[in-house]
Structure formats: C-alpha cells, structure tokens
Chains A and B, each alone.
Chain A
Amino acid sequence: MNKRADLTPMMKPRSVAIIGASRDPHKVGNVILQNYISAGFPGKLYPVNLNSDEVLGLKAYKSVLDIDDSVDLAVIAIPAPAVPGALEQCGKAKVKSAVVVSGGFAEIGETGLQDKIAGIAKKYSIALVGPNCLGVMDMRSKVDTLFLPTKKLSKPKVGFVSFVSQSGAVGSTVLDVIAGEGIGLSKFISYGNAAYIDETDILEYLMGDPETKVIVLYIEGIKRGREFVELARKLGRSKPVIVLKAGRTSAGMAAAQSHTASLAGNYAVQEAIFKQFGFIVANDLSELLYYAKIFASEMRPKGNRVGVITNGGGAGVIAADEIGSSKYLQMADYSAATKKSLRKIMPALVNIKNPLDLAGDADSRRYMDAMNALGSDPEVDMLLVIILYQTPGADPGVTREVVQKKITLSKPLLVVSVGTEYTQRQAKLLEEGGVPVYDSPISAVSSLEALFKYTEFKKRIATG
C-alpha cells in the first residue's frame, strides 16, 4: 500500500484532536466532539480551541502543538482561510491524518486555497480527507467525524459493508437508509473535494481492510484515471464493489469526429471499466441499496436457477415473468425427488410447479416445508420467497421460519413483501435476521441477477 493510502491512523486512531471544538452547541466542532463523547470513543480526545480552556468537560488546547501526546487524527472544523495554518501546525506536530470538514475551497472556486492544503498534506505526509466533506465513520473503532445530529439519523448496526461517497448529502441519506434496512456497516468515508486522498486511495485501503467485505461507492468523477484502472483491476477480483456513478447525461461530444468517439464518451467509458473489472453498476440510489443488501448477506449462488415460493398467485407470476425475461436467470425445474416429496406434504390445492403457490391460507408450517424442499434441491440455486402478510396464514411465525431457514441455508434467499405497517414490522424483523427484503419482485430479481453476474465474473477470473 502506498503511504498516502494508509488510512489506518484515521480509522483506528488512539488519539483525536478536534480543531474548532467550540463550546457553542450550534457549531460543527461542538457537534463532532459531542458525537465522539456520546459514541463512547475509547481513545484520547483533545479539543483545540483558541478561546477556551475547557470544552464539554475536556481540557482544551490552543494548538495541536500544545498537546503532549502523538495525535493520530485531527478533525478540522474551522473557517476555510484558517485551515492552512492549522494544518501546518498539524504537520509540525507530526499528526498522522486529518479530516477537513470545512467548506469554502474548490467547490466555490477557491482552488488556490485547496492546492495550498494539498501541498501541506503532501509535505508532511498527512493522510488528508476533504475538504468540504462529512468525513469518516468506523463502526468498530467508534470514530465518527460526521457533524450530523444523531437524533435525525439512524445509526447502522456493525457489519462488513463499507460505503464511500464523494457527496456528503448522498452519503448521509444512504447512511440513514442503510441503517433502516438493517445493513451492517463497517466504514463510511465521505471525501468531498478530494484535495489529497481520493477515491483510488480510499478503495486501495478498503481492499486491504479485513473488516470490509462489500464496498458501496457513489462517485461523481475519477481523479487519477490510470491509477484507478490499475486498482480496479485488482479490487474487482478481491471484493464486490457496487457503484453508482453520477454524470450519466453529460451530453456534448456532438461534434465528434467518428461514430466511435460519439458513442464512447467519458461516462460510457467509466461504466465499461466498472463492468470490465467486475464492479456492480447501479443506475440509481434505490438499486445501490438493493444490491448492497443482497451482497451484504454474503451468500453466493452456484448457478442461475431460481425457485419461487409465494402465497399469492399474481405476485408469483410477476416474479416468474421477470426471471423469464432476464438474460441471466432462469426458473428452476425441481428435481423429481423434490416434486415427489412436495406432492406428499403439500395439500391438494397446491400445484407442484415453479412458482410454488402455497395458496392464501399458507402458514408457517407450509412455508417451512416448501423452503426445506427447495433448499435441499440441487436443481435450485436461489430462493425468492414472496410473503404477502395480508393473507390469513402469514404471521410472525412465517417470519421466524424464514429467519431460521436463512441461518442453515447455503443458497441465497431473499424475501419479497409488499405492504404497510404490519408488513413493514415483519420486514424489519426479517432484515434484522439477515434476510434481505424487497418491496417488489422486479427489484428482487434484478438483485439476484447482479449477484449471479458477479459470481460468474469471479468464476471466470478464477479459471483464467
């Protein structure tokens, strides 16, 4: 790993200085310090404040140079013009990494000021993230530089998905939804203007991070093309990366000299690179989350054959249509043994075919029998289970059976469930149990498709 890409001191700091830690609860620096304290950050906290000796009960320092300890991470939340000075002091104090949350740099045309801080970071080898960013969060080390009031944002549970976002606003929105969907988070990095550390550095770090098994990426542009490509080549082989790239409609290229030039604009090329190296390309924020969910569940299919279980005929047909029209998936044909055993255990009104329509009165027992049969059938690679909780038999018992089955099943399983309050309560229980839940057969099938394609990609590179 190149030196600037080592974000370990930032993600796992033993000591954090918060520059601009104000006593005023409306100031960003105060919110950040408060968040650290309430998250129970186990390391040392050093507020830096020119005007006070004490902030939130902690001894405050006039400068990082006054801190009688080595500082792993400095969070800088002061007005832009004062940032270079503070950063210079960080350099002299041998601070290892810095997050500049302050805005007022390249995003408003102040490129000179931005170049200046990039130069200081380089001079002192400070791993600098920002400026104009939300910063970083590590669910295990309890680092959290996000200046968002915790009561307005759900905290995700600890897991293995790391989320990288150039945009802070998209970042905090997705973070909130990730928490709501029960996706376990490892790290969150919002890198803003990328004056020094950019997407390639961050991805390089996450590639080597054992706490990251899935990477979710929102980017608007790529800074160092060739370096990114070199990294992407390795990264795609090592971990699933789900990417949403904004800027699809960047028109132009109208007066291009050839057909190829007009069809190979920069966005198209970036999308091609993602595909080439096995990244999973999402077209919008919802897809990004759908894919994140299924990949977070860490199950990989052996093949492309989907078995559908449903308690509503119509929903089953929609799912079957969607699978039938997919270029990559197909409806499974159950083995003779499965058909025979299903015929024996299922009531006469259940037709033994795919989709397996358990009928409106299906209860937890029937769901369990169906999942057991398809779960052990070698002709079925993935299970799509539709539960319409509006029917009389579908109750928390069904939810429990699915969560139970998920624990022992070695195939991907997801649930499609559509509805309001009651359904949403059950969906939450399912997701807490590690079962991805989708609100339409279409998003569920497209997620299974993405999972299958990635598995194929991995197989392909494994065989050379």
Chain B
Amino acid sequence: MSLLDYMQAKKLLDKYKIRSVESKYVGSADDAWRFSAGKKIVLKLLSEKALHKTKAGLVKLGLAEEKEVRSAYDDLTKKGTKLKPYKILAQKMAEDGVEIIIGGNTDKQFGKVLLVGLGGIYVETFKDVQLRLCPITKADAEEMLSELESKDVITYGGRAEQEVVSLLLKVSKLLTDEKKIEQLDLNPVIVHPDSYEAVDIRVLT
C-alpha cells in the first residue's frame, strides 16, 4: 500500500463534497506568509520518513504573526534536511471544536468498513468507536452515533447529528466507489455545532 499525496487526497474529499481545511504546499517562507493572509495557519512537514508528525515536532500550530510564520517555516526546513524528500503543507487553522475520527479500512473477508469515534488523542485511550460495513444507510449512520458512549459530546447533544450523519454517508460512498482506496483516516475531523472540517487526511491505496 502506498500513501496518497496530501493534496490529491484532499481533492478526493472535494469530489465527494467532504469539507476539509484550506491547504496548500508552500515552497518558501514568503509563500507561507502570503497563504496566511493575516489568518492563523498551521505548517506541517510531510515526509514518508516521519509517521508521527506531532511527536517529531513537525506540526506548527496557531501561527499568526509574520515572524512566527517565518521562523516556523525555517525550523521545519532545518528538520527536513534529514527527512528528504519532504513537502511543507500550509493549512488554515481550524476553529476549536470536538475532534472525531472517521476512518475506512478494507477487511480481507468482508470488504470496505467505515469507522467513527471520538478522535484526536482520545482514539487510543477510550477506543470509543463504531464500525459498519459499506455502504451504510442513513439509519446505520444514526445507529453508529447512538452506540457511541461519546455521542452527546460529538453531536453537541444532537445539534450536529445530521451534519455528522451526512458526513458518514459521504465517506461511505467514497469508500464504496473508490475501489483502489485501501485505508482512509480523517483524524481529526473537527466538529462544530453547525459544521465540520477534516484537518488531517491519510489515504492509502
């Protein structure tokens, strides 16, 4: 299996109308500063040699000032000398919300499987996830959420439920239609009371 390029993965999500944060590869500190246009951004170094970006200090969050953006960019290029080839991805900083994980996997016996659960750093701790075989129905999506211990947290007590349900249906459709996709991790997707956006995307083909 091989990792799909980030921007290609993002395009794939676009095709299924799955929202993800605005992102762009940047080739210089100037580039990065222009992208920010005065808004908070994130810079990430992407390299196949670095699986855990956060642990390796390859994710720079909440960059607002020009000085911060430039020094973060320079620091990443320095770290990158050992991780070539690499790319630097600039993303608009998502607003705070509830982090969830949405995933897809291919089971050898049964085929494409969809997963949803409390995301971010809680994934491994609570393992509060639900799985279903693709394609799922709307009722399946609703039941997946109902069976999560963290349902009320994820849906803001039900307010964001229809948003998340429609997101699950879209991801299920993507997994079902795109035969070449073996695995997919949207972790985290940030859920707001009236919207969501995928912040990190990993697609394996």
What residues of chain A have their CB less than 8 Å away from a CB belonging to chain B?
A: 222, 225-226, 229, 257-261, 263-264, 266, 268-273, 275-276, 327, 460-461
Given A259-B187, A264-B105, A264-B115, A276-B133 contact (CB < 8 Å): yes
CB of A446 to closest CB in B, whole Å: 15
Residue contact A263 to B133, C-beta cutoff 8 Å: no
A residues in contact with B130, CB < 8 Å:
272
A residues in contact with B4, CB < 8 Å:
none
Which of B37-45, B72-80, B121-129, B161-169 faces chain A? B121-129
Q: Which of B109, B127, B139 contacts A263 (CB 8 A)?
A: B127
The answer to the question of B87 belonging to the interface, with a C-beta cut-off of 8 Å to chain A, is: no
A residues in contact with B105, CB < 8 Å:
258, 260-261, 264
Residue of A nearest to B102 (CB): A260
Given A264-B131, A269-B131, A257-B107 contact (CB < 8 Å): no
A residues in contact with B147, CB < 8 Å:
275
Residue of B nearest to A232 (CB): B133
CB of A54 to closest CB in B, whole Å: 50
Give how many A-B residue pairs fall within 8 Å (CB-CB): 79
The answer to the question of B202 belonging to the interface, with a C-beta cut-off of 8 Å to chain A, is: yes
Give the interface size bracket for B toward A.
20 to 34
The answer for the CA separation of A327 and B204 in the assembled complex, in Å, is: 36
Q: Is the contact region of chain B dominated by helix, strand, or loop, or is it mixed?
A: strand
B residues in contact with A460, CB < 8 Å:
139
Residue contact A258 to B132, C-beta cutoff 8 Å: no
Q: Would you mind naming 27 contact pairs between A and B with Cβ atoms under 8 Å apart?
A: A225-B109, A226-B109, A257-B1, A257-B204, A258-B103, A259-B103, A259-B124, A260-B103, A260-B115, A260-B183, A263-B115, A263-B129, A263-B131, A264-B103, A264-B107, A264-B113, A266-B109, A268-B131, A269-B109, A269-B110, A269-B131, A272-B113, A272-B132, A275-B143, A276-B133, A276-B136, A460-B139
Residue contact A259 to B109, C-beta cutoff 8 Å: no
Q: Which of A226, A260, A261, A266 contacts B101 (CB 8 A)?
A: A260
The answer to the question of B111 belonging to the interface, with a C-beta cut-off of 8 Å to chain A, is: yes
Residue of A nearest to B111 (CB): A226
The answer for the CA separation of A222 and B108 in the assembled complex, in Å, is: 12
The answer to the question of B184 belonging to the interface, with a C-beta cut-off of 8 Å to chain A, is: yes
Residue contact A260 to B107, C-beta cutoff 8 Å: no
The answer for the CA separation of A132 and B183 in the assembled complex, in Å, is: 38
Q: Which of A258, A266, A269, A272 contacts B204 (CB 8 A)?
A: A258
The answer for the CA separation of A258 and B147 in the assembled complex, in Å, is: 23
In the complex, besides A263-B123, A264-B131, 17 extra interface pairs with C-beta distance below 8 angstroms are A225-B108, A229-B111, A257-B1, A257-B183, A258-B202, A259-B101, A259-B103, A260-B101, A260-B105, A263-B129, A264-B107, A266-B107, A269-B131, A272-B113, A272-B130, A272-B132, A327-B146
CB of B50 to closest CB in A, whole Å: 14
B residues in contact with A269, CB < 8 Å:
107, 109-110, 113, 131, 133
Residue of B nearest to A262 (CB): B124
B residues in contact with A258, CB < 8 Å:
103, 105, 183, 185, 202, 204
The answer for the CA separation of A272 and B124 in the assembled complex, in Å, is: 19
CB of B14 to closest CB in A, whole Å: 21
**Residues of B133-149 whose CB lies within 8 A of A:** 133, 136, 139-140, 143, 146-147
CB of A90 to closest CB in B, whole Å: 32
B residues in contact with A270, CB < 8 Å:
110
Residue contact A272 to B133, C-beta cutoff 8 Å: yes
A residues in contact with B1, CB < 8 Å:
257
Most B CB within 10 A of own CB, among A229, A259, A275, A276: A259
B residues in contact with A257, CB < 8 Å:
1, 183, 204
Most B CB within 10 A of own CB, among A261, A268, A461: A261
In the A-B complex, the 7 residue pairs with the smallest Cβ-Cβ separation, listed nearest first, are A260-B103, A225-B109, A272-B131, A264-B105, A225-B110, A258-B185, A269-B107
B residues in contact with A229, CB < 8 Å:
110-111, 133
B residues in contact with A275, CB < 8 Å:
132, 143, 147
CB of B100 to closest CB in A, whole Å: 12
Residue of A nearest to B184 (CB): A260
Residue contact B117 to A263, C-beta cutoff 8 Å: yes
Residue contact B133 to A261, C-beta cutoff 8 Å: no
Given A264-B115, A272-B130, A460-B139, A259-B110 contact (CB < 8 Å): no
CB of B200 to closest CB in A, whole Å: 11
Residue of B nearest to A269 (CB): B107
Q: Which of B104, B132, B184, B185 contacts A276 (CB 8 A)?
A: B132
**Residues of B18-48 whose CB lies within 8 A of A:** none
A residues in contact with B129, CB < 8 Å:
263
A residues in contact with B127, CB < 8 Å:
263
